[in-house]
Structures are given as structure tokens and as C-alpha cells.
Amino acid sequence: MIIDHIDNAAQYNGINKRIEQALKYLKETDFTALEPGKYEVDGENVFAMVQQYTTKGKEGSQLEAHRKYIDVQFMVSGKEQMGYTRLNNQVSATPYSEENDFVLYDVPASFVAMETGMFAVFYPQDLHMPGIQLEVQSEVKKVVVKVRV
């Protein structure tokens, strides 16, 4: 997992060509006017999903993981908490969906506050829980760039 501000994106150049491409796309694109939806960056290797939603409480939320894609989550506006723990032989709460590249876990997590301009990189070994409110619910605009492993 990586958490940082988009102004520092260049520090991560060289760790992975596709992550570098995703961070460059996030830094150079004005998302304020883009509608929610899927946007191609490099076919199915790198694509972005613009999302708008209201944050929710921790109760009933689950950690998620992916096997085929790395998540690069960028806060366009708003703030939220993201839960995290490392995948370490925990038993999943749901079967892995090959079609959706998605599996859920009910295990304890640590939380970090995310604000406008920040990004997080979640690798397949990183269980994560985005969209969690801080003190109160708030509106968020976020871009999730999916980077093929």
C-alpha cells in the first residue's frame, strides 16, 4: 500500500510502468468536469472509473481485495477514511468472483484519513475498505484507476 498526495506522484516513477501511467493520468487530468463512468487509459491494462457518492459508516462494511488489478484511488474532492490490513491467510467472507475480480473479508482494519488531492495504491495483498465517513457523512468525488497486475 502507498498513501501520498498527487503532488508527490513522480517519486513513484519506476516502481511499475502501469502505476506510473495511472499516476501521470491522475495528475494531468481535470476530473472536476468529468461525469461518473469508465474512461480508457490503456485498454484493459489501465482504465479509470470516476465515482461520486456519500460516505458511509463502518458498520456493515467489509474489506475488499482484487487479484487481477491494482487499485489506484484518487480523491478529487471530499474526504473519507479508508480501512486497510494486509492479506495474510484470512478466510474470505465471500467467494472470489473471477468476473468482477472481487472478494470480501470480515476482519479488523486500521483506518487512514484521505482528503482532496491524496491517492492510495492497493496491491492484491492489500485488503481495503474505501468510502467510510470521518466524523459525518460527506460527498466524495473519487477516481479509481484499475491497473492490471
Output the domain CATH number for residue 81.
2.60.120.370
Closest CA to 120 of 138, 108, 132: 132
Per-residue exposure over 73-103, b if at least 16 CB sit within 10 Å of its own CB, e if not: bbbbebbbbbbbbebeeeebeeeeeeeebbb
Q: What is the pLDDT along the chain (149 residues), one digit of tens a residue?
A: 999 999 999 999 999 999 999 999 999 999 998 999 999 999 999 999 999 999 999 999 999 999 999 999 999 999 999 999 999 999 999 999 999 999 999 999 999 999 999 999 999 999 999 999 999 999 999 999 999 99
User: For residue 34, what pLDDT is reported?
Assistant: 95
Number of domains the chain is built from: 1
SS3 category, 118: strand
User: For residue 83, what pLDDT is reported?
Assistant: 97
Phi, psi dihedrals of residue 24, rounded to the nearest 5°: -65, -45
**Segments forming the whole domain that contains residue 119:** 2-148
- Report yes or no on whether pTM surpasses 0.75: yes
